[in-house]
Amino acid sequence: MITIRYLIWDVDGTLFDTYPAFEQAMAEALAALGARPEPGEIAPLLRDSLSDAARQLALRHRLDPQALQAGFGQRYRHLLLRNQPPFPGAVELCAGIVDCGGANYIVTHRGRASLDRLLAAFGMADLFADAICADEGYPRKPDPAAFLALIERHGLSPAQGLAVGDRPIDIQAGQAAGLRACLFGPDSAPDLRPDYHVRSMADLHALLFPDAQVVS
């Protein structure tokens, strides 16, 4: 195992495959306000943040951004959690970190109640030692404040940690906090310099546990 004692995870698009649900809820919210987005218009915008996506879509379709965000939230809350599963191998990898004496943490732009529901739905709550959510009021990524708060709260060494996320802002925030950072997923960015880049949980498992059987 590389010298990593703990991971700080992003949630949406990293631990959980939630973007299809986000896209569905946003499309329904736009339709309810009379907008007709082009095929493929919504998904790329969600890679930044939901609030930024709502603002851009509202501007494009001449809608009230607050009304669109409210409509999105209402529709998203009614979508089934079972259709927003953890990525294959995520549960096993998080459990493996704990089993070897390490720890998992979360920094997310989700609210606490929303995160708790998602973790509980898949029996994952006990796999995470702590989480910082939007409710706590820290600046949003790429600001490293939430990462630094977790490090201080638990007396962690940045040199022993790994930030894992699917977006540039996750990598930027983790590295600014002194952590190594791993980009998760197929996408990259020309100016982004993650310490590691994996395309699946199996790849991340092989990075962390090179001598162990790869999860699938």
Report domain extents, the chain: 6-17+85-208, 19-82
Q: At what angle do helices 65-77 and 19-32 cross, to 10 degrees?
A: 130
Domain 6-17+85-208 class in CATH: alpha beta
Query: DSSP E strands: which ranges in 68-140?
Result: 103-107, 130-132
From residue 158, alpha-carbon distances to 118, 149, 171 in Å are 27, 12, 14
Would you say domain 19-82 falls under CATH 1.10.150?
A: yes
**CATH topology agreement for domains 6-17+85-208 and 19-82:** no
Q: What pLDDT shows up at residue 202?
A: 96
Please confirm whether the linkage preceding 142 is cis (ω < 30° from 0). Answer: yes
* Closest CA relative to residue 14, chosen from 214, 163, 213, 179: 163
Entry field: residues in the chain? 216
- Torsion angle of C-alpha atoms 74, 165, 122, 71, degrees rounded to 10: 0
pLDDT of residue 215: 40
CB neighbourhood size of 148 (10 A) = 17
Which residues face 186 on adjacent strands?
none
Please tell me the predicted confidence (pLDDT) of residue 189: 76
- Mean pLDDT per 10-residue segment, the chain (216 residues): 86 97 96 94 86 93 95 94 96 96 96 96 98 96 97 97 96 98 88 94 94 49
